[in-house]
Chains A and B, each alone.
Chain A
């Protein structure tokens, strides 16, 4: 009994950790720039493919992939913001959604063309493969309890990323300016702060986090051209449940739906729709989301 509850809890946290990694960038970009990036799932997909290619390349390897993929995605985000998104700040929200949706299709189809539609195997590195014997460390567990090592690493990476992002926003001057920009970007501009450059960095940061998600999450998900869209929907729901524009909300909502999926896993009919049911309940009884601020995007 203790074992099964513990394992479900762990699976829920691990699932939540993956959702956090994917939706954090989405929430960050939406919260600061007000842009709903329909190509965010595609960014995750690109990162997962890059992870496969670099980790298996002769010149590469897993260590290189971990460092390089988020950096490439960061650069990609910078390129995307400077080359495309910034021209859309002044245009209607529907145009922003349409153009990022178009980009998502282009990326998805390009990768399908180059790599084919099938799932690419994404092997974990030697140091992250196999299982961890949890009963050696946790005395309250009965008998033999093991868990895949990579999933634990993924959870840890996710928590570190969250901590890092919050530290950046809370304790640095850059973060202070960004947070002020989230509150009232017009005022900040009047004060003579160049926020558009910082916003470009924020956008790239959001995409870079999708890079971390792709390289660490890829081995536990599929790596195929459609994977971005598969994860885009739950990440949208995370942002809605947590509260549009709230980063702590996104983290909380990710773990909430991770746990909800894990604890309903024995009833597949329910597990498939539990995320939507939670979203409906939130919409009916707390439309601004768990931690959404009053007046933001209402």
Chain B
């Protein structure tokens, strides 16, 4: 291994190890802050989703309002496989994730042709198209409004995928995907994504095939969404039609922006924050939680575009006594 490579290695070791330790010990400390077992699994699933969304929005600069399409497509195909093929999660997850990726190629091809505004509008529209197809056109296969019910208990080679088993499976996947994301961001490809964000036109003039990089960046973020969608069904074997609705797409947008775009840590923090507070606050104030969330989100966009991460670094700067 060359020295440059081992330097990379060291760079990743500490953050990934910290990430792994925090997640793996979650069952022990999470209950002390009012969490319950099950919520921790859900948080980790959303963290995976948020990592991928953070790559697309934070690094490539494209705001998708239709990521439910990949989460949901993968969830539906995972569910259909569990229902009709085998209770083993391996083929179910593989088919689910591949279906999400194919959907990403189709939607990406249609929506990435023009500017970012087009992209936001059209991803929302195509996401809603899938939602309405599941509710009506395809309801014989998808169960329409009721979703896919009656799924068997997911198995992994004789191991029942329930409770802790699902949690540790999810955590292992999350650690691997976090590591991959770090490598992507630092790779030449990651640099291309950042170049697309800062000036797409100029990049094109240097002879780079921007369309190909955009599509690839989009598909990568959809892989994360698909993995999350598939894991959601392993966690809770029921496919809700809600998984394809704009509410879910909006959720991931809000999380990512609240946490802080342009970093990998921000979206993960946002996901954890939102799920935690959703569960704690919605108990005490019910539906009004969403009103608070919307207001907090607006204020963040207006005053703190970098989210919690920017807020944190601002506070740090103040405490350190303005070193710049």
A113 touches B291 (CB 8 A): yes
Asked if A112 is at the interface (CB within 8 A of a chain B CB), the reply is yes
One of A1-9, A99-107, A174-182 at the interface: A99-107
Minimum CB–CB distance from A121 to chain B (whole Å) comes to 22
CB-CB < 8 A to A187: which residues of B?
Answer: none
B-side interface size class: 35 or more
Asked if B313 is at the interface (CB within 8 A of a chain A CB), the reply is no
The interface bits of chain A over 86-106 (1 if a CB of B lies within 8 angstroms of the residue's CB, else 0) are 010001111101110111011
Asked if A146 is at the interface (CB within 8 A of a chain B CB), the reply is no
B291 touches A109 (CB 8 A): yes
Q: Evaluate whether A236 and B301 lie within 8 angstroms (CB atoms) in the complex, with A98-B257, A106-B294, A273-B133 already known.
A: no
Asked if A200 is at the interface (CB within 8 A of a chain B CB), the reply is no
A94 touches B290 (CB 8 A): no
Asked if A153 is at the interface (CB within 8 A of a chain B CB), the reply is no
A-side interface size class: 35 or more
* Complex alpha-carbon distance, A38 and B116, angstroms: 14
CB-CB < 8 A to B124: which residues of A?
Answer: 232-233, 236
A297 touches B294 (CB 8 A): no
* Complex alpha-carbon distance, A239 and B137, angstroms: 25
B125 touches A283 (CB 8 A): no
The interface bits of chain B over 73-104 (1 if a CB of A lies within 8 angstroms of the residue's CB, else 0) are 00000000000000000000000000000000
Query: Which residues in window 25-48 of B have CB below 8 A to A?
Result: none
The interface bits of chain B over 243-255 (1 if a CB of A lies within 8 angstroms of the residue's CB, else 0) are 0001000100100
B128 touches A105 (CB 8 A): no
The interface bits of chain B over 99-130 (1 if a CB of A lies within 8 angstroms of the residue's CB, else 0) are 00000000000100111111011101110110
Q: Evaluate whether A101 and B287 lie within 8 angstroms (CB atoms) in the complex, with A229-B246, A269-B136, A272-B137 already known.
A: no
Chain A binding site: helix, strand, loop or mixed by DSSP? helix
Asked if B302 is at the interface (CB within 8 A of a chain A CB), the reply is yes
The interface bits of chain B over 277-321 (1 if a CB of A lies within 8 angstroms of the residue's CB, else 0) are 000000000011011011101100110010000000000000000
B137 touches A94 (CB 8 A): no
Query: Which residues in window 36-64 of A have CB below 8 A to B?
Result: 36
Minimum CB–CB distance from A116 to chain B (whole Å) comes to 10
CB-CB < 8 A to B297: which residues of A?
Answer: 98, 102, 105
B253 touches A106 (CB 8 A): no
Q: Which of B113, B115, B257, B295 contacts A106 (CB 8 A)?
A: B295
Q: Which of B63, B290, B301 contacts A109 (CB 8 A)?
A: B290
Minimum CB–CB distance from A128 to chain B (whole Å) comes to 31
Q: Evaluate whether A99 and B114 lie within 8 angstroms (CB atoms) in the complex, with A94-B57, A94-B120, A113-B287 already known.
A: no
Q: Which of A99, A108, A229, A239 contacts B298 (CB 8 A)?
A: A99
Minimum CB–CB distance from A260 to chain B (whole Å) comes to 14
A109 touches B115 (CB 8 A): no
Minimum CB–CB distance from A36 to chain B (whole Å) comes to 5
A276 touches B63 (CB 8 A): no
Asked if A22 is at the interface (CB within 8 A of a chain B CB), the reply is no
Asked if B132 is at the interface (CB within 8 A of a chain A CB), the reply is yes
Q: Which of A94, A110, A283 contacts B116 (CB 8 A)?
A: A94
B-contacting residues of A (Cβ < 8 Å)? 36, 84, 87, 91-95, 97-99, 101-103, 105-106, 108-110, 112-113, 117, 229, 232-233, 236-237, 239-240, 244, 268-270, 272-273, 276, 279-280, 283-284, 287, 297-298
Knowing that A98-B253, A240-B121 are A-B contacts, what are 15 other residue pairs whose CB atoms are under 8 Å apart, sorted by A's residue number?
A: A36-B121, A92-B61, A98-B257, A105-B290, A106-B298, A109-B288, A109-B291, A113-B291, A236-B122, A237-B125, A272-B133, A273-B133, A276-B125, A283-B113, A287-B113
